Each structure stands twice: as C-alpha cells, then as structure tokens.
C-alpha cells in the first residue's frame, strides 16, 4: 500500500507578492478518529520576518488535506515575551513539533522563535516555545499576558523531532544547542507533570557530551530504558558524511559518547526521523546520500534496530537540484506509516502513507 500527495498547491499558503514562498520543517501527528494534523513553517524564506507556523488537517475519511491556516506567529497568535521586546517585529518562527496525548485528548506543540535584526537573526538566537490545545488545534493555552511558555532561558536551543513517551511514562523531548557548538540535549518530564500542560509542567534539561551532531531522533528499544538516538552530523565536523549515534541505558539520564552510526548510513547535513512501530519494528527516514538531500529513503528494521535490511526510496530525482528532506514519521492507530517532508526544495510539504509490506517489496 502506498499513497502520496502535496499538502497544498505550490506557494499556496506562504504566498508573497512575487508569487513565491518557502515551506519547510514539517511535523505530523494523529489526533482522533484517524484525523491527521501537519505543521510546518513558511514565508518568504527561512528566517524572514514573515515566516509563520502553518497547520493543516486531513480528516480520517478523506484523502485531501484542508486549506492551511496560521497556527503560530508572534504578534498575531501570541504576544512577544517582555524580555524580547527590543526585537518586536524582528523575529521568525521555525521547526514546529507535535505530540498528541490520547489520554487527555490534548495536542502539544513546541516551536522555535528566532530573534535579531537582519543578518544577525539565525537559529543560534532561538528560543523553544511551548503551548497546548484541548480542542485539537483550534485554540491554544497561553499565559495570562498572552505569551507562550518558554522552555529555557538562554539563546540557542532548538528542536526538530517529536518527543517519545517511554515505558516508565516519562516524556523525552530531543533537542539541541547551537549557541557555541552543535550538541544534542534532551528535556524530560514525568507523566504526572506532563498532564499539567504547557503552563505548569516541570521539565529537566539533560546535557550530553556530544559535539558536531544535532537534531536527535530517539526510540526506546526492547530492553526497558535502553534508548537509541540517531543524529544529523554538522558540516566539516568529525562525523561529516555519516549519521552520528548515541545510546542511553537509563531512560536518557546519561548518554554515551557519539560515534559513527552502526549501520554506515550517510548524512548530508540534513535531518532524519525514526519511529518504533507497535510490533517492535523500527522505521528510519533519511537522505541516503552523503552529499545532497536526494534521495529520501525509508529503512526498516525487524530486529530491534540491530540491522536495517530493507530500504526503499520514497523520493528520487536525477536532477541534483531537487531536494526531498526534513522528514517527520509516525505510525497511526490503523498501523499505517505516515511521513511529511519538504518537497523540491521548499515549494511544498508532501505527505506519504504506506505500510511495512511496501518497504519490503
């Protein structure tokens, strides 16, 4: 089984007077009754002042995505934090991440707001923000002053990939710092704290000793508390051209030193995403190239991520200027696998749906 389509018409939600736009950094979640929700950031171009977080939904009984709408833009849907007032009108949004808590029927969203003037505005000047919705993304919880929760109090932290709920109930949110170097970090929250929502939950930051690698994607292996983290490698870093890997044996409290991944998978300085399926198998979506973001490949492991014997290209083009990248992957309640990703190169967000049999064909 395989199905795919572009979520919206090219330039359809990030239009500019010139008729062009950039859409990137998508994420996806299933909410209720098989309904999917996707988010991404779009505007004139990455880090521009007009970049907003967009959202679209696909009802469970439909094969079409709805017209996108704005889910977050500082100054429109939320107010600027007082400590950032000097940057009013000089901020940009990026990298939204979703998690749906089925017990509470609550949709959580984290994203990055980056601050600065002109060329000084970059990912290293970003803050992770956090809000939740109890009506599937129609309205969002904010502080009394209309500002969202800040997850940390210093520049330069980022997210890209979804959190996981581990077998001990804790939520682990993979993140990274880009202030002085590329390094993975992780935020943890107990199940009890997470149930309090975005405004009251307490999160602990766990640092790692990793450098030259970032944007971790994490699964919990069969042995409880044993985590696998695969990461993007930085350009000109010691892992250049290869995915980096770290492990934890204590639910993410401590992490091994990063090393070249066990599978010899390449990395072209681009994001990867990974999911553990209900049957224990593992799906990894990545660019199977050390140089360009093409092809976009799906790999399947049936042995607890010891090996990935099955690989299939989700997208491939002979044109080296084409890029299919920054995937986000989930498994829905019906067992099907869903991926969203940036398409050619930022014209649109594309969605694909398939099963394990398609990967193994």
The model's pLDDT over 99-137, given as tens digits with 9 standing for 90+, comes to 999 999 999 999 999 998 777 788 999 999 999 999 999
Residue 153 pLDDT: 84
Statement: the pTM of the whole predicted model exceeds 0.85: yes
Cβ atoms 347, 321 nearer than 8 A: no
Q: Please state which CATH number belongs to domain 2-360.
A: 2.120.10.10
Whole-Å CA distances, 289 to 215, 270, 295, 305:
17, 10, 7, 20
Structural domain boundaries of the chain?
Answer: 2-360
Residue indicated by tokens 């979506």: 285
Predicted confidence (pLDDT) per residue in 145-200, tens digit: 999 999 998 889 999 999 999 999 999 999 999 877 899 999 999 999 999 999 99
**pLDDT value of residue 147:** 97
| CA 354 distance to own-chain centroid | 20
What's the token pair of residue 196? 């309090």
Q: What is the pLDDT along the chain (361 residues), one digit of tens a residue?
A: 999 999 987 656 665 555 568 899 999 999 999 999 999 999 988 999 999 999 999 999 888 999 999 999 999 999 999 888 888 889 999 999 999 999 999 999 999 999 987 777 889 999 999 999 999 999 999 999 999 999 998 889 999 999 999 999 999 999 999 877 899 999 999 999 999 999 999 999 999 988 999 999 999 999 999 999 999 999 889 999 999 999 999 999 999 999 999 999 999 999 999 999 999 999 999 999 999 999 999 999 999 999 999 999 999 999 989 999 999 999 999 999 999 999 987 889 999 999 999 999 9
CA 204 from chain center: how many Å? 20
């Amino acid at each position: 089984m395989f199905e795919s389509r572009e979520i919206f018409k090219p330039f359809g939600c990030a239009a500019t007077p010139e008729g062009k736009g950039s859409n990137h950094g998508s994420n996806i979640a299933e909410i209720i009754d098989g309904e999917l929700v996707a988010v991404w950031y779009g505007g004139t171009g990455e880090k521009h002042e007009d970049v907003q977080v967009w959202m679209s939904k696909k009802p469970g009984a439909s094969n079409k995505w709805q017209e996108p709408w704005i889910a977050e833009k500082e100054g429109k849907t939320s107010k600027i934090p007082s400590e950032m007032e000097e940057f009013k009108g000089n901020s940009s949004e990026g990298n939204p991440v979703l998690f749906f808590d089925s017990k509470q029927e609550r949709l959580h969203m984290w994203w990055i707001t980056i601050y600065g003037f002109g060329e000084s505005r970059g990912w290293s000047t970003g803050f992770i923000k956090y809000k939740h919705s109890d009506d599937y993304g129609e309205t969002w919880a904010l502080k009394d002053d209309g500002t969202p929760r800040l997850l940390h109090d210093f520049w330069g932290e980022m997210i890209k990939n979804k959190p996981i709920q581990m077998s001990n109930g804790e939520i682990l949110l993979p993140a990274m710092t880009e202030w002085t170097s590329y390094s993975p970090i992780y935020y943890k929250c107990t199940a009890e704290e997470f149930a309090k929502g975005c405004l009251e939950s307490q999160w602990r930051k766990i640092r790692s000793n990793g450098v030259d690698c970032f944007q971790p994607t994490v699964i919990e292996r069969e042995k409880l508390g044993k985590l696998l983290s695969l990461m993007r490698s930085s350009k000109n870093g010691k892992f250049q051209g290869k995915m980096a890997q770290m492990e934890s044996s204590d639910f993410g409290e401590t992490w091994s030193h990063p090393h070249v991944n066990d599978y010899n998978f390449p990395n072209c300085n681009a994001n990867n995403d990974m999911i553990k399926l209900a049957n224990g198998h593992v799906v990894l979506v990545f660019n199977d190239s050390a140089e360009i973001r093409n092809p976009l490949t799906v790999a399947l492991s049936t042995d607890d991520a010891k090996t990935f014997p099955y690989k299939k290209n989700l997208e491939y083009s002979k044109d080296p200027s084409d890029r299919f990248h920054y995937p986000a992957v989930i498994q829905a309640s019906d067992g099907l696998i869903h991926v969203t990703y940036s398409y050619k190169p930022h014209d649109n967000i594309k969605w694909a749906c398939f099963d394990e049999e398609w990967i193994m064909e």
